[in-house]
Amino acid sequence: MKRRTTLQLAAAAAASPLLSAGTAFAQGAPIKIGAVAPKTGPLAGGAAVTHWPSIKMWVTQVNERGGLKMKDGSRRRVELIEYDDRTDPGEAIKAVERLATQDKVDFIIAPYGTGLNLATAPVFAKYGYPQLAVSSITDKGAELTKRYPTLFLTLGNTTAFADSVGSILEKLVKEGKIGKKVAMVNVADAFGIELAEAARPIFKKHGLEIVYDKSYPLGTQDLAPVVKGAKAANPDAFVAWSYPPDTFALAELSKIEGLNTKVYYSAVATCFPAFGAKYGKSAENILGAGGINPDAPEMKGYFETHKRLTGVDADYWAGPVTYASLQVLEQAIEGTGGVDKAAVTDFIKKNAFKTVLGNWTFKNQQIEQFWTVGQWQGGKFVGVASTGKPGEKPVQLKTGW
């Protein structure tokens, strides 16, 4: 399934000073950018929140400015070509191949999800496309970036995410606020499997005891047995390395079954505005993957513009990372003054970039400072743990559903 969108925004030209000024430049042929991510399948809901809106926001803004600046002084608008990979690695691979060989796009935006990024990395590298993997968490970064010189990892690594959760729990245990028993579950996808494998020895290092350890397939419809099993283990903390559909389902079932742990953590989608809206006061003090500093001026501007241009609220984690990666791509294209993929890739490796998440510099093709844990506090999902980001908030205990 392909959708081609050239956002010329002719109707907005008269109303937008930025667009009017941009169109004063000579126009070259559009820069074709491909995007492959789920529109259907288990991860479609997550992609609809964190992936597609930030992409379309960026494309709109670039075209409002008249396009990307080239070294000859012209500006080139962005033409977006979209494919639905149906949350299927095989479909994602075919779509990236199609964009490279048939559509002959200038650049390709990385897919959504760890497994889909890992599956398509060889194809990106084969055709020399920079792959800014904005929704991929793995400890294999050093190995992967060495194997694939066009791969860039922006979201973080497995050990940091698991260790941040372990550190939070250990601190609470030492403060006498909770016991050391943990119920842990994971989605049986590359993301969940790797995090669970990393968490087992890490939790032990932090003096924690895993009293329940259960995996479930991606797309599982009935998670009641998982929640009932976790409750029966009488844990002090519940940790789920989950994807969007199961994050919502686990919370709903935990509320129904009365899984009332003082620490409740679920991973992807806990940061979604829809999660906070659905559970309201019950969402307060739930921990999840990611987070941001919502008080940072750049983030306030991002949220306001996202709402204005897309009509929906941005999430509190991967959406801003997706947008930041496109800011990197934009600055690399304009920095090299063209669409030479090798030159753009090299520029990304060697330069610093100003983004909504602060200054980014890639070390061995990876970002080293990132948010790891967030928590719903006062109706916002705020960052409570990171690898060196400013603005961390103190962790609060959950007091029930």
Give me the mean pLDDT over the 70-83 stretch.
97
Task: State the Cα–Cα distance between residues 237 and 224, nearest whole angstrom.
Answer: 18
The predicted structure's pLDDT at residue 13: 33
The predicted structure's pLDDT at residue 227: 98
Q: Convert the pLDDT of each residue in 195-248 to its tens digit.
A: 999 999 999 999 999 999 999 999 898 999 999 999 999 999 999 999 999 999
The predicted structure's pLDDT at residue 21: 38
pLDDT at 17 over 90: no
Give me the mean pLDDT over the 33-58 stretch.
97
Q: Convert the pLDDT of each residue in 234-277 to its tens digit.
A: 999 999 999 999 999 999 999 999 999 999 999 999 999 999 99
Residues 6+ apart with CB under 8 A from 157: 137, 138, 139, 141, 366
Q: Convert the pLDDT of each residue in 378-398 to its tens digit.
A: 999 999 999 999 999 999 999
| Nearest by Cα to 390 from 376, 369, 373 | 369
CATH dotted code for 2-156+295-371: 3.40.50.2300
The predicted structure's pLDDT at residue 90: 98
pLDDT at 160 over 50: yes
The predicted structure's pLDDT at residue 25: 53
Between 27 and 93, name the one with better pLDDT: 93
The predicted structure's pLDDT at residue 27: 78
Instruction: Provide the percentage of residues in the chain whose pLDDT is more than 70.
Output: 94
Residue 185 bridge partners (DSSP) = 214, 240
Domains of the chain, residue spans: 2-156+295-371, 158-292+372-386
Q: Convert the pLDDT of each residue in 105-119 to its tens digit.
A: 999 999 999 999 999
CATH architecture of 158-292+372-386: 3-Layer(aba) Sandwich (3.40)
pLDDT at 24 over 70: no
The predicted structure's pLDDT at residue 1: 62
Pairing relation of β-strands 352-355 and 181-187? unpaired
Give me the mean pLDDT over the 91-98 stretch.
98
Give me the mean pLDDT over the 347-360 stretch.
97
In Å, what is the CA distance from 261 to each residue of 223, 268, 371?
18, 19, 24
Q: Say which residue the tokens 């999902």 belong to.
A: 381
pLDDT at 181 over 60: yes
Same fold, 2-156+295-371 and 158-292+372-386: yes
Give me the mean pLDDT over the 312-331 stretch.
97
The predicted structure's pLDDT at residue 38: 97
Identity of the residue numbered 6: T
φ and ψ of 293, to 5 deg = -105, 95
pLDDT at 8 over 60: no
Instruction: Provide the percentage of residues in the chain whose pLDDT is more than 90.
Output: 92
